Structure 1
Amino acid sequence: MSGDAAPHVVEDFFGVVRLLSDGSVVRGDETVLMPVQPVSDVPCVEWKDAMYDAARGLKVRVYRPTPATADGGGSTKLPVLVHFHGGGYCLGSYDQAGRSHYFRQRLAADLPAVVLSVQYRLAPEHRLPAAVEDGAAFLAWLRGQAALGARAEPWLAESADFARTLVSGVSAGANLAHHLAVQVGSGQVELHPVRLAGYVLLSPFFGGVERTSTEADPPAGVSLTVAMSDQLWRMALPVGATMDHPLANPFGPDSPDLAPVALPPVLVEAPERDVLRDRVLLYAARLKEMGKAVELAEFKGEQHGFSVRGWGQANEELIRILKQFVRQLK
């Protein structure tokens, strides 16, 4: 008779992600945390899926304004917005329905842009740096598409201005966008003939061992608590890593110096009611001190990830700011 104990739960994130002692993972229904709210599609936006990594079964959802409604009636190429979903690296999907899908449609229609919503592997089944590796693999695919010219995926060949490419994301997706911008800016990732013109961080998901003011004394009514953030990092980071790991803390003791990195202009969104607010403000301030081009957009009364949690005046203002940011990029 075996003396081995049955696997037991070591992490339980609201019953949606359960990590067992043998390393296996049991997943539940994510809509318990983020109910899918039915929303109308944005008129004159079309979308379809394409495979960018067949070996891992990873896809990208391509959104674009229908050519007849785009600027120039389809004759003008549009900027490319590479977008990564949130979920603490443990939740979410590139094809998430409801507000996330609506937000991506609005980006495509209002910027206007070709929006590429990228699938990446999730933790704890695939701990970091798996998601960052997938992001780099996607950029390599995009570079290959640009090199194909007229033989590229038809919507990209018809509509994409690869010289005006941005990486963006919400929460963990913003963390991922930061790391990709650093890899490109430091020469670790070659993009030519694609050009990274800017990057956008919406409610970025950063961490650190030392508590900030907003973590020690959280604002009322936050959507992401300190306990939730800590648990997601425990499940996402390499086993045994602390939250000063470079993938969590861009200014940790082992993190690369960003001063010599050729970062493009960045737009950073900071909601007021967010336990990570101080980390986001520090990120923007430190980059400004280094002489980087930083635009900070603060949103009073809004929660972490508000852009994909509901829709209201703040969302419309965010779209306006994003549109202006993209238009001023060279």
Structure 2
Amino acid sequence: MARLAPLIEEQWRTELADWIAGGDRSAYDAAVGVFGRAGMRWAGLPGTAAAQTRWAARLAQIVDGFGAPYSPEFVMSALNRAWSDRHAQKLVEATRAGRLDPAEGTALHAWAWHRDEQDVLLPARLAGIELQNCIRPLIAVARFVAFAAKELHDRPEWRARIAAETAERGSLVSGPLATAFAQEVRRTAPFVPVLPAWALEGIELDGERVPAGGRVVLDVLGTNLDDGSWERAELFDPERFVGIDDYEELAAFVPQGGGATVAGGHRCPGEKLAIVGLAAAVATLSDERVAVLGRGLEVNRRRLPTKPASGGRVRGAGAAADRCPMH
């Protein structure tokens, strides 16, 4: 957390400057680049910003493509996975050969030199896959950023409050209002609607008998929007998270898995990183010098994973008013 947060801030400031200067990347595409570059630098990976952005786009497409079987996107996802596996394997091999020297404590160093229970180095391909598992999930948080752009567009009063908070703090990272907004995005966004699992042995769950090999499905979105657990559950209201210091105590808040802890449940080990990155995105998108455009914010809830169609188009505030509405 301590190493990643300043990298995320640096990258979001780069995207903000680009939007102000006339760039028109969507919030989603910008977030893919931000989380990709920050995550790769955090992980000790080499490469220029442009090269890291291109790899991040491949990793994001892997996440997107698996939701469209029997489609060109699915085929592209398989090709991107094969390319990424080879590339990550080469990084591990280069580290072991001494051609790369990542800092101790980085993900590349850790996986390149990780040994199994028999004190044997992992196969380079497997180590490379695990290396990707340290960065690809962070890039997937870009989908939450697209939903955040949609909600900020619809709530100018919250944009103003978060912009004032950010200006007062002088930082994009971990603002209380931006974090509360990010948490409400995670509660309401149909990004991961369900989490399925197989029962390894016969169990009883809520009075129902599940045999070994039976399937259990956690209704993520339904739990997060449950009227019995949330006041006015259907409303988007970040105020419900203002002043909540320990969100893990909220049993019905399971946007990235449930359970009290990572070790004792199915809570995502990268959840805190996701919150920091998403809150920084919310602060960035709330800047009065940029505007989120209203077109293309519809969401296809039959698509998994899903996001607003346009990804949330963003432009400099002046440019947004000056541009032709058809472009």
Pairwise TM-score range, normalised by the shorter structure: under 0.3
TM-score (norm 2): 0.28
Q: Kindly name which structure, 1 or 2, has the bigger radius of gyration based on alpha carbons.
A: 2
Q: Which structure is richer in relative contact order (CA contacts within 8 A, separation 6 or more)?
A: 2
